């Protein structure tokens, strides 16, 4: 485990915008700072900016073992560490039994497990980060990504409405290709789009489509425990947290 963290950290394998839970100096605070700073920088430069806040559908369960092992090898895992990874990920089987009845009519066949890692382990989180580590590579230089475990946020900018729409279409096409190649799917129910604006700006709703489906528009999003609204006013976050603060103050 220490070897894996060392490889990911000291060798600077994780791309800019990627934040690992177990790394010092990179945490939820820095992931949040990175997101807010990118939004404010774009707005200060009079750029149009929107964020697509993605949710992977059962990301830990869907990671393909073969793809994962190829990526681990690409990032420098070799020798006994490669052997340990192979032993950990392969050669496992599972079946389903109904009502704890082991007769043939109540059991499925034993099948090889080819996807997924146990959720809740630091090693599994590291596997996921390395699995999606090449995702920011497909994004153009005018855009940015902030990734923390399976929370993935894509920030898109443009000087004009036309540039912005072209940017969105190109980025979503690239993301779609990456998802298909890596056997990851997007959870539409938890994925939404927020267009960041100044308080005196008249907002024109942007339609964002992914694989012939509209991604829902929203004026706020919950990012790593913070409620971030489209004007960065923090009003919604204060309204939600103030009652809890008052409750603790009376204890």
pLDDT band at 64 (very low <50, low <70, confident <90, very high): very high
Q: Enumerate residues 6+ apart whose C-beta is below 8 A from 11.
A: 75, 76
| Residue 115 DSSP one-character state | B
Residue 160's beta-bridge partner residues?
Answer: none
What digits encode the pLDDT tens for the residues 14-37? 655 555 444 444 577 888 888 999
123 pLDDT more than 60: yes
Share of the chain above pLDDT 70, in %: 82
Using DSSP bridges, classify how beta strands 93-94 and 111-112 pair: parallel, antiparallel or unpaired.
antiparallel
Can you give the pLDDT at residue 250? 62
What digits encode the pLDDT tens for the residues 75-100? 888 888 888 888 888 888 888 888 77
Count other Cβ atoms within 10 Å, centred on residue 205. Answer: 8
Tokens representing residue 150 in the block:
């399976």
In three-state secondary structure terms, 223 is strand
Alpha-carbon distances, residue 228 vs 3, 105, 121, 197, 249 (angstroms): 36, 52, 28, 12, 25
Can you give the pLDDT at residue 219? 87
């Amino acid at each position: 485990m220490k070897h894996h963290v060392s490889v990911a950290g000291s060798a600077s394998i994780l791309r800019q915008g990627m934040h690992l839970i177990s790394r010092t100096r990179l945490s939820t605070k820095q992931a949040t700072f990175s997101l807010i700073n990118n939004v404010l920088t774009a707005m200060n430069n009079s750029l149009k900016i929107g964020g697509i806040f993605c949710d992977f559908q059962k990301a830990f369960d869907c990671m393909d073992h073969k793809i994962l092992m190829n990526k681990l090898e690409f990032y420098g895992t070799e020798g006994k560490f490669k052997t340990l990874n192979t032993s950990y990920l392969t050669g496992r089987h599972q079946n389903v039994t109904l009502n704890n009845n082991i007769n043939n009519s109540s059991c499925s066949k034993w099948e090889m497990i080819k996807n997924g890692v146990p959720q809740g382990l630091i090693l599994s989180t590291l596997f996921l980060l390395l699995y999606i580590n090449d995702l920011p590579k497909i994004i153009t230089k005018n855009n940015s990504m902030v990734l923390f475990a399976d929370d993935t946020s894509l920030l898109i900018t443009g000087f004009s409405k036309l540039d912005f729409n072209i940017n969105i279409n190109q980025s979503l096409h690239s993301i779609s290709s990456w998802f298909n190649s890596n056997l990851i799917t997007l959870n539409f129910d938890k994925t939404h789009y927020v267009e960041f604006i100044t308080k005196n700006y008249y907002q024109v709703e942007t339609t964002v489509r992914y694989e012939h489906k509209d991604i829902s528009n929203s004026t706020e999003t919950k990012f790593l425990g913070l409620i971030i609204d489209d004007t960065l006013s923090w009003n919604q976050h204060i309204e939600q947290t103030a009652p809890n603060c008052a409750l603790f103050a009376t204890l």
